[in-house]
């Protein structure tokens, strides 16, 4: 199937053909996990769940960067907002995520200087415009955004900007997949791998995980035809037993990915252990600033070492991120936890599973 234009990836006749093929070839109950939050939203937006056989369950995985941010990191963001002479810059999704006692939205309502930015470069611009203030950027992202954060730090260093700092809660995708496969109770029959992240990492980044766990895996895009094609491939692999790591998104993803972006990322950041909400600590799954860039490390500048805090009582966000529960199974869903009064980040982020369920189902 070779398509050229974007409208071809939304063709209704082609979608119906793929659905018929999926139904004809699917004879097993399957649990397929879309790792990326953008995939989750696209699946709901286009009604893909409703056209699949009842035996196919689509699970939302740990691919929403806000959703997997640990409670202690949210508490750190709140603590920055409470410091004098500090401007906190953040993406909008983080504003309403509850920490153990407050949120950035609540702190802003009480007078804290918190500014929503659309890119980390905007945060650097805030620092340039306010040389007498300390500017902290809350860095929450995967391989897609980490290179831009690294490039901004390099720009700040080159310009001699000394009032710009980054708190890194950045994470890498492949280690989380391996952690899921090692978790008791997690049953996944195939991965729909992220498109945006894979543009940077390339197909090869998932090869070690695939070879170790021998699990069907497909990289795909975000249009209906992309996703249905990925589901069909995963169904076929499970039916035949011929498992493979497939790049079904060659118009954007190559085997090697974007080597230049990764080089910039690795120039500034190094591997660290990271705490993932609901999963726990995953070795070598985070990206912390290298010693040469300590001057930009907000955690060191402000001696920010927050204690671990428990998840909100009753919140199933962690279990949802691991595919152990769906949002409807959470006792707080649509009751205490809504988009206006979120308890966990899965209801806050535009890529969160609970937010998608709430909006579309």
Q: Which of 209, 215, 353 is nearest to 282 (CA)?
A: 209
Whole-number average pLDDT of the chain: 94
Same domain, 162 and 121: yes
Tell me the average pLDDT across 153-160: 98
- Band of pLDDT at residue 305, cut at 50, 70 and 90: confident
Q: Are residues 47 and 143 in the same domain?
A: yes
Closest CA to 201 of 172, 169, 230, 170: 172
Residue 125 has pLDDT above 90, yes or no: yes
Pair (345, 269) in one structural domain: no
Q: How confident is residue 25, by pLDDT bands cut at 50, 70 and 90?
A: very high
When pLDDT is cut at 50, 70 and 90, the band that residue 278 belongs to is confident
8 A C-beta contact, residue 30 and residue 214: no
Q: Rounded to 5 degrees, what are φ and ψ at 21?
A: -65, -40
Q: Which CATH number is 95's domain given?
A: 3.40.50.11740
Pull the structure tokens for residue 174: 């492949």
Q: Would the pLDDT of 32 be above 90?
A: yes
Residue 1: its pLDDT value, please?
A: 57
Q: 337 and 244, same structural domain?
A: no
Are 159 and 237 within one domain?
yes
Per-residue pLDDT, averaged over 18-29, amounts to 97
Strand, coil or helix: 286 = strand
Confidence grade of residue 3 (pLDDT, cut at 50, 70, 90): low
Cα 167 to Cα 297: distance, rounded to the nearest angstrom: 6
pLDDT tens figures, 247-274:
999 999 999 999 999 999 999 999 999 9
* Residues 248 and 105 both lie in one domain: yes
16 part of a folded domain: no
pLDDT value, residue 2: 61
The predicted pLDDT at position 329 comes to 94
Q: Is 198 exposed, middle or buried (0-12, 13-18, 19+ CB in 10 A)?
A: buried
The alpha-helical segments, DSSP class H, found in the chain are 12-25, 37-45, 48-51, 71-81, 104-109, 120-129, 146-159, 173-181, 195-201, 207-213, 224-240, 259-268, 298-301, 317-321, 353-360
**Mean pLDDT within 93-115:** 95
Contacts of 100-105 with C-beta under 8 Å, sequence gap 24+, read 100/71, 100/74, 100/75, 100/309, 100/310, 101/75, 102/78, 103/74, 103/78, 104/77, 104/78
Q: Binning pLDDT at 50, 70 and 90, where does residue 4 land?
A: low
Are 167 and 229 in the same domain?
A: yes
Mean pLDDT of 292-319: 91
- Report the pLDDT value the prediction gives residue 159, as an integer from 0 to 100: 97
Tell how far CA 111 is from the center of its chain.
Answer: 30
Last residue of a domain, one of 276, 302, 328: 302
Looking at the domain assignment, is residue 13 inside a domain?
A: no
**Does one domain contain both 113 and 36?**
yes
Q: Domain span at residue 340?
A: 317-360
- Residue 125 is encoded by which pair of tokens? 């611009």
Of the pLDDT bands very low, low, confident and very high (cuts 50, 70, 90), residue 245 is very high
> Residue 312 falls within a domain, yes or no?
no
Write out pLDDT tens, residues 166-195. 999 999 999 999 999 999 999 999 999 999
Task: Answer yes or no: is 19 within a domain.
Answer: no
For residue 231, CA distances in Å to 54, 88, 186, 236 come to 13, 41, 19, 9
Output 147 or 349, whichever has higher pLDDT: 147
Distance CA 199, CA 202 (A): 6
Query: Has residue 277 got a pLDDT over 70?
Result: yes
How many domains does the chain contain in total? 2
């Amino acid at each position: 199937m070779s398509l050229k234009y974007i409208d071809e990836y939304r063709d209704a006749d082609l979608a119906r053909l793929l659905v018929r093929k999926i139904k004809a070839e699917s004879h097993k109950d399957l649990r397929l996990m879309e790792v990326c939050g953008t995939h989750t939203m696209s699946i709901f937006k286009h009604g893909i769940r409703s056209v699949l056989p009842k035996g196919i369950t689509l699970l939302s995985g740990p691919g929403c960067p806000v959703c997997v941010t640990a409670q202690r990191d949210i508490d750190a963001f709140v603590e920055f907002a409470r410091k004098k002479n500090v401007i906190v810059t953040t993406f909008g999704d983080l504003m309403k995520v509850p920490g153990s006692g407050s949120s950035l939205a609540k702190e802003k309502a009480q007078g804290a200087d918190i500014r929503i930015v659309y890119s980390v470069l905007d945060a650097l611009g805030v620092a340039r415009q306010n040389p007498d203030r300390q500017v902290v950027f809350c860095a929450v992202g995967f391989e897609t955004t980490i290179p831009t954060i690294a490039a901004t730090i390099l720009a700040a260093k080159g310009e001699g900007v000394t009032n710009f700092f980054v708190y890194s809660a950045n994470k890498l995708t492949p280690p989380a997949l391996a952690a899921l496969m090692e978790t008791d109770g997690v049953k996944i029959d195939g991965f729909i791998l992220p498109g945006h992240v894979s543009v940077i990492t390339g197909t090869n980044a998932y090869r070690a995980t695939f070879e170790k766990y021998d699990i069907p895996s497909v990289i795909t895009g975000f249009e209906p035809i992309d996703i249905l094609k990925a589901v069909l491939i995963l169904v076929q692999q499970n039916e035949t037993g011929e498992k493979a790591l497939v790049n079904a998104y060659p118009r954007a993803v190559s085997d090697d990915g974007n080597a230049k972006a990764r080089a910039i990322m690795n120039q500034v950041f190094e591997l660290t252990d990271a705490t993932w909400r609901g999963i726990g600590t995953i070795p070598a799954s985070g990206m912390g600033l290298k010693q040469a860039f300590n001057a930009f490390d907000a955690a060191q500048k402000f001696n920010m070492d927050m204690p671990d805090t428990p998840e909100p009582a009753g919140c199933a966000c962690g279990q949802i991120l691991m595919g152990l529960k769906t949002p409807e199974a959470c006792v707080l869903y649509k009751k205490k936890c809504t988009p206006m009064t979120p308890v966990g980040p899965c209801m806050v982020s535009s890529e969160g599973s609970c937010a998608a369920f709430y909006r579309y189902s």
